[in-house]
């Protein structure tokens, strides 16, 4: 452990590296000699270990484990993700130098090569966490999700009434625009109840320019195509019925007409998709999966920290991280 820290970190502070160094009277290697004494390798090691070693050690462990798990070469998905992130940052900051100035304090990197290595480590960590979380999805979870969430493709039409808002509006003005849109959607529903045709009202009132001239026809939708409120409303309708209460999404207020519905696809055909959806849901709602996923991976690769002090630091780090994650869960669920 000393050799790793001294050769891997301390060498940045000296020009002698791990070659010949002076010996103190007690036999320890001297890093610095002073008129009133010396600083030994052990002194420096203990200070670095107490201040910085754990973070570096965790990164080194994860890099080694994830290289074994995914290979030395970057995956195509990994390359694409890293290049996309860097391109986005370069569009914002202009040059690599300015980009590095911005990320240096956050990520501890000094070169573009180090930045890519950092992003690669984070990508692989996230991938490992996702794979771990999928293993926690049970058959019972899958069956419940299939019964409650999955539906046969539904052919729908809609009339969208979007509020007329702009970014320069005040909160009060935006609220007034929302209320006006809701009122207009309710008026359209009243016209439907009075016998006016859905397609005619779509052409007259819908703010969806892509579908209004086709009577609001959206074609067939399947699970995940639309926002949850839209899908739930469409699922609950009888064939030929429309929503008698405006359905709110991020686009505005919808009146939805259910035209046709196909048979639900069999479970085995979409099992993997359901597992992925449930794993994503778990990760979004429970921050402990981020901590446990990597902790379990290190156990799988038989991690044994030989230094008692660093082992204690690591155990405390995991314990504190889980406590923080649970607090975050409570805040998110308020």
Residues of the chain with pLDDT under 70: 1-28, 30-31, 33, 37
pLDDT for 118? 94
Looking at residue 307, what is its pLDDT? 84
Are 148 and 196 in contact by the 8 Å Cβ rule? The answer is no
Model pLDDT, residue 44: 74
Q: Rounded to whole angstroms, how far apart are CA atoms 32 and 2?
A: 17
CA distances from 77 to 62, 83, 123, 243, 290 (A): 19, 10, 9, 42, 20
Chain centroid to CA 143? 25
**Structure confidence at residue 5 (pLDDT):** 39
pLDDT at residue number 14: 40
Predicted pLDDT at 73? 82
Q: List the 217-221 sheet strands across, edge first.
A: 217-221, 154-161, 252-261, 247-249
pLDDT at position 143? 97
38-66 residues labelled b (16+ CB within 10 A) or e (exposed): bebbeebbeebbeeebbebbbeebbeebb
Give the pLDDT confidence score for residue 15 in this predicted structure. Answer: 38
How many Å apart are CA 150 and CA 266, to the nearest integer?
10
């Amino acid at each position: 452990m000393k050799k790793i820290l001294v050769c891997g970190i301390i060498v940045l502070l000296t020009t002698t590296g791990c070659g010949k160094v002076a010996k103190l009277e007690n036999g320890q290697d001297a890093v610095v000699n002073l008129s009133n004494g010396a600083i030994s390798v052990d002194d420096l090691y203990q200070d670095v270990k107490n201040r910085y070693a754990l973070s570096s050690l965790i990164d080194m462990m994860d890099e080694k484990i994830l290289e074994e798990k995914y290979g030395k070469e970057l995956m195509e998905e990994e390359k694409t993700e890293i290049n996309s992130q860097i391109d986005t940052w370069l569009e914002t900051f202009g040059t690599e130098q300015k980009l590095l100035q911005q990320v240096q304090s956050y990520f501890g990197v000094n070169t573009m090569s180090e930045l890519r290595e950092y992003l690669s480590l984070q990508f692989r960590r996230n991938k490992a966490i996702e794979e771990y979380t999928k293993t926690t999805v049970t058959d019972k979870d899958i069956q419940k999700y299939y019964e409650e969430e999955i539906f046969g493709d539904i052919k729908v039409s809609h009339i969208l009434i979007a509020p007329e808002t702009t970014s320069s509006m005040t909160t009060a003005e935006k609220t007034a625009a929302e209320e006006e849109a809701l009122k207009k959607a309710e008026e359209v529903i009243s016209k439907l109840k009075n016998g006016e045709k859905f397609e005619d009202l779509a052409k007259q009132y819908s703010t969806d320019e892509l579908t209004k001239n086709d009577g609001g026809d959206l074609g067939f939708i399947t699970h995940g195509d639309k926002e949850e409120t839209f899908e739930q409303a469409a699922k609950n309708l009888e064939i030929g019925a429309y929503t008698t209460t405006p359905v709110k999404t991020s686009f505005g207020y919808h009146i939805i007409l259910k035209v046709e519905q196909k048979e639900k696809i069999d479970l085995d055909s979409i099992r993997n998709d359901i597992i992925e959806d449930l794993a994503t849901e778990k990760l979004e709602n429970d921050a402990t999966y981020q901590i446990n996923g990597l902790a379990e991976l290190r156990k799988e690769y038989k991690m044994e920290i030989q230094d008692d002090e660093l082992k204690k630091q690591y155990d405390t780090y995991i314990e504190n991280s889980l406590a923080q994650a649970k607090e975050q869960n409570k805040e998110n669920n308020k």
